[in-house]
Structure 1
């Protein structure tokens, strides 16, 4: 069965100040952010990976650029956050686990090589960077067994940052979906994960990619930093 992969790309990305959706921002090597993601996906999972993009803001530009993908529409893209985009994607997915990523992350292809090992085991995970812990980023802590315990921007004494590449196993998907349906419209998808861990004892492993690059593009300086890698 081919790997199901979701790219969350419905948001307006207003902080970057571009006219096109943020995933279509061009990098210094001539590719867009999303093209770099597609290349990384093909590198790790081959041509048979099934890629679904959640779109909203100026969706026609993304659909035109990636006609080979499948699409899910978040019609409330200007009123909801990533929790509801991921909810729609999981609702539309086929049986089996789902790997997903934020559509504004530029990252080392090797990050998906590590992800592929976890996908093969069908183990839910969150990719993390332990090298830095910024106040404005999603942070995490772990329990006594090393699984994710807390996952949010308000975590105290975080062990590192979540980088926006995650996987939910087949047997965990329905529980995560239920919590994504319940959380507030403005919640990030991490809130759904945190509740699934807290209330249903789901186990998400932290996958450390601190030795690899992964840059979430929110501001112009983030784009400059990403361009140093590509």
Structure 2
């Protein structure tokens, strides 16, 4: 089955202070953030992976840069957060699980190669980094069986951070769609995952990539750090 992959790239990314959509920010190796994501996707899943990009802010630049992708438009990109962008993408997806990532993450190609085991096994997961736990990042805890329990920026006693690379299995997708429809417009998609865990008893496994680099580029200092790896 073709691997379905979604890149969330509708936001304005104003904190980085660039005129173009943040995923089109150039890295020190000459690639854009999104181009390195495409390269990583091909390395892990080959050319048959189907990539859908959720676009909004200045979408024409992303469409022009990646004509090989399919696109879902979040017309409320300036009024909604990642929960509603992911909701649109999942509704537009075909049968089967969906791997998704934030469009501003610079990460080691091995992160997707490692995750391919879960994708092929159709097991929902959240990629995590246990090496640091920053107050401003999405943090997580696990239940007694080791599955994700809490997942938000307000988690107390977090075991690590979510890095923005996730997968929902074919059996869990409908429930996540339903929960994403319930959450507020300004909620992150992690709130939908939390509700799915709480109300639908969905099980998301934490996939530890602490030994690999993954940098979510929000500010100039994040970009500087990302450029140390590429």
Normalising to structure 2: TM-score of the pair? Answer: 1.00
**TM-superposition CA deviations, 1:21-60 (whole Å, max 9, x none):** 0000000000000000000000000000000000000000
The aligned counterpart of 1:51 is 51
Which aligned pairs between 1:134-149 and structure 2 lie closer than 5 A? 134-149=134-149
The aligned counterpart of 1:61 is 61
The aligned counterpart of 2:183 is 183
- Structure 2: unaligned runs, 5 residues or longer: none
- The reply to whether residue 15 of structure 1 matches residue 20 of structure 2 is no
The aligned counterpart of 2:79 is 79
Number of aligned residues? 230
The aligned counterpart of 1:197 is 197
Which aligned pairs between 1:77-156 and structure 2 lie closer than 5 A? 77-156=77-156
Q: 1:225 & 1:136 partners in 2: Cα distance?
A: 17
Q: CA deviation at 1:92?
A: 0.2
The aligned counterpart of 1:2 is 2
SS of residue paired to 2:171: helix
Q: 1:39 & 1:211 partners in 2: Cα distance?
A: 20
Q: 2:2 & 2:36 partners in 1: Cα distance?
A: 20
Q: 2:64 & 2:187 partners in 1: Cα distance?
A: 29
- Structure 1: unaligned runs, 5 residues or longer: none
Q: CA deviation at 1:114?
A: 1.1
Q: CA deviation at 1:160?
A: 0.1
Q: 1:186 & 1:48 partners in 2: Cα distance?
A: 34
- The reply to whether residue 172 of structure 1 matches residue 208 of structure 2 is no
SS of residue paired to 1:207: strand
The aligned counterpart of 1:211 is 211
SS of residue paired to 1:88: helix
The aligned counterpart of 1:160 is 160
SS of residue paired to 1:192: helix
The aligned counterpart of 2:38 is 38
Normalising to structure 1: TM-score of the pair? Answer: 1.00
Q: CA deviation at 1:115?
A: 1.0
The aligned counterpart of 2:27 is 27
Q: Which runs of 4+ in 1 moved over 6 A?
A: none
